[in-house]
Amino acid sequence: MNPIRIASFSFFFLLLCTQVCLSQEPVTPKLIWEVNKIDLGTLLEEDGNQLAEFKFTHTQDSLFWIERVWTDCGCTTVAYSEDTLRVGEEGTLQISFNPSTGAGPFSRMIVVKGNLMGTQDTLFLEGNAIPFPQDPMIEYPFQQRGVGFRQEKVNMGEVFTNEPKIKNVEFFNFSDETIFKDSLKYFGPEHLQFALLEDSVTQDSRGLIQVIYSGEMKDDLGFFEDPVSVSLTDSLIVQMDVLANVFEFYPAFSKEDLGVVPNLTISPKELDLKTISKNSVQNESVTLTNKGQTKLEIRKIQGNCDCLTMTMPKDELSPGESVELQIIFDPKGRQGIDQRNIYVFSNDPLNPVQLLVLKSRIE
């Protein structure tokens, strides 16, 4: 081969290898943001504009300044640091959001462009805007002692054991009393906390009660309905039911551990009893097997009806071990097509909750 061609080929090959190596090096972002998303939570229209502040640190040796900021909605206005920043210096971006411009959950996008190549970052502002009611008596129908709520019960949804779940519950003050922040008192289990978010809520105005549910402190799994009492003033005492589905949290694990962790299988996962008499108690069983390489723990077995009774000789299974789950179903008082759900909670990190279905036609 021509020596010149050999030299050219070697040069381009070396250049290609250099580019590949450089492309594999981690790219250091020019701006380090404390957070790139802020959740403003529940916003009442009458509370006016809400502020959120994003903070960043400049990481490059070159001088930096913000050239322009875009937002995807006229409901947000922006103020930002206009100073020239050196490496290690900090800047801020303040967003003002007007909750009267929409209703319901929102997610606003903010794009920040700097003078340096590659400094165009995207931020997000989220929350839930609630307009002022046109007819409070209709929109807050569940009233107790002059305090109205949209829903009869507080549904927390899914709650995990790794962090508390927070929900803001709005209410309307129909009474002639003013409710103060420090006057709220809560009476109920320790895994729940209640607090008034406003300093005061006067007559014919709205407020937000923050409910915090700790799955770790609940120290139990499954569906729960906790009755609680909340004293807003000495005479305004309301009763609430707080609903939640509590699940154990399992962090992500490596693919290499997939065959090592506990693995629960249930066979069969559906029992069809066909046609049965309402006076005939049914006895059934299913097999629970640990197909993993470490000990399986059955945390809890919960049915969706008092008509179900479940028993099991043991709740810990060694690798490869099986056990029979005995199920007693009493159809007394029921008629027609029926479906019962049984939830099995375990330390299987891939399937910590499994559903077993019991079907029948009751005559």
For 256-362, CATH gives 2.60.40.10
- The edge-to-edge listing of strands for the beta sheet with 308-311 is 264-267, 282-290, 322-329, 308-311
**CB under 8 Å to 9, separation ≥6 — which residues?**
none
Contact predicate 170/208, CB 8 Å: yes
pLDDT at res. 357:
96
**Burial tier of 133 (Cβ tally within 10 Å: 0-12, 13-18, 19+):** middle
pLDDT at 226 over 90: yes
For the segment 45-76, what is each residue's pLDDT rounded down to a tens digit?
988 899 999 998 988 888 888 888 988 888 88
Residue 12: band (very low, low, confident or very high) from pLDDT cuts 50, 70, 90: very low
d(CA 253, CA 251): 6
Amino acid 108 reads: R
d(CA 300, CA 304): 13
CATH label, 31-130, candidates 3.40.50.1240, 2.60.40.10, 3.40.1350.10, 3.60.15.10: 2.60.40.10
Higher pLDDT, 267 or 116: 267
d(CA 57, CA 121): 13
Question: Which of 79, 24, 27, 35 has the alpha carbon at shortest distance from 57?
Answer: 35
Domain spans, the chain? 31-130, 136-247, 256-362
Residue 103: band (very low, low, confident or very high) from pLDDT cuts 50, 70, 90: confident
Contact predicate 252/225, CB 8 Å: no
Residue 255: band (very low, low, confident or very high) from pLDDT cuts 50, 70, 90: confident
**CB under 8 Å to 26, separation ≥6 — which residues?**
none
**Cis peptide, bond prior to residue 319, ω within 30 of zero:** no
pLDDT at res. 29:
61
Lowest mean pLDDT among 1-5, 207-211, 266-270: 1-5
For the segment 313-355, what is each residue's pLDDT rounded down to a tens digit?
999 999 999 999 999 999 999 999 999 999 999 999 999 999 9
pLDDT at 88 over 50: yes
What percent of the chain is predicted at pLDDT more than 90?
A: 69
Domain 136-247 sits in CATH 2.60.40.10: yes
Question: Which of 237, 150, 136 has the alpha carbon at shortest distance from 186?
Answer: 237
Residue with tokens 């070697």: 10
Largest CA distance in the chain: 100
Q: Of the ranges 26-35, 171-180, 256-265, which is most confident?
A: 171-180
pLDDT at res. 15:
45
What is the arithmetic mean of pLDDT over 165-192? 95
Residue 223 has a CB neighbour count (10 Å cut-off) of 11
pTM: 0.79
pLDDT at res. 117:
82
d(CA 8, CA 13): 9
Residues forming beta bridges with residue 288, ordered by sequence position: 266, 323
Q: What is the DSSP letter of 27?
A: P
pLDDT at 165 over 70: yes
- Residue 137 belongs to what H/E stretch? helix 136-139
**Burial tier of 168 (Cβ tally within 10 Å: 0-12, 13-18, 19+):** middle
Contact predicate 360/334, CB 8 Å: no
pLDDT at res. 286:
97
- Give me 149's structure tokens: 């709520």
Fold equal for 31-130 and 136-247: yes
